[in-house]
């Protein structure tokens, strides 16, 4: 139930308001500057927020606990992404560092 309601609301608003806002409809007013500025930073924040929740914690029963293996591999991944700027290098380094940590620890 929650799945359907939330999926439909998000899908509807995303399509007709966000994506279609200026393409299906043709409004004349631009956004206020503050909104535009805010939106400039949301994607970066979203990427790091989602990566963070998956790289820092592990779900332990009902509790979230820190996951040192994932955090360490995450730091290595960050360095790989920063210096290589290459998706496959980053993916290879990130995954193999986690496997190595699991192998040795």
Partner 1 sequence: MKLKRMYHGAMLVTPLLVGLIPFAVSTGIYGTEKGFTVYESVILSLIVFAGASQVAMMDLLAQSAPIWIVVATALLINLRFMVFSAALSPYTQETPFWLRPFLAYTLVDYMFILISADSNKTDKSYEWAGVGIMVMVFWHGSVWAGAYFGDVIPAYLSLEYALPVLFLFFGVNMLKNKARMVTAGVTVVSIIGLYPIMPLGSGLMTSIILGAIAGIVTKRNLA
Nearest distance from residue 58's CB to partner 1, in Å?
11
Binding mask 23-62 for partner 1 (x = CB under 8 A): xx-x---xx--x-xxxxxxxxxxxxxxxxxxxxxx-----
Spatial separation of the C-alpha atoms in residues 56 and 23, rounded to whole Å: 39
Q: How far is the CB of 84 from partner 1 (least distance, A)?
A: 9
Element containing residue 101 per DSSP (H, E): helix 87-104
Cα separation, 103 vs 17, in Å, equals 49
Cα(36)–Cα(27) distance, integer angstroms: 16
- Cross-strand pairs, 60: 63
Task: Find residue 57's DSSP bridge partners.
Answer: 66
- Cβ distance to partner 1 smaller for residue 41 or 104: 41
Question: Least distance in Å: CB of 103 to partner 1?
Answer: 10
Binding residues for partner 1 (CB under 8 A): 2-3, 5-11, 13-24, 26, 30-31, 34, 36-57, 64, 70, 73-74, 77-78, 81-82, 85, 87-88, 90-91, 94-95, 98-99, 102
């Amino acid at each position: 139930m929650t799945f359907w309601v939330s999926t439909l609301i998000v899908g509807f608003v995303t399509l007709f308001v966000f994506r279609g806002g200026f393409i299906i409809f043709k409004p004349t007013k631009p956004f206020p500057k503050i909104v535009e500025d805010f939106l400039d930073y949301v994607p970066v924040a979203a990427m790091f927020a989602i990566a963070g929740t998956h790289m820092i914690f592990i779900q332990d029963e009902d509790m979230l606990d820190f996951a040192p293996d994932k955090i360490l591999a995450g730091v290595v991944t960050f360095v790989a992404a920063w210096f290589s700027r290459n998706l496959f290098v980053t993916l290879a380094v990130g995954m193999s560092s986690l496997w190595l940590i699991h192998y040795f620890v």
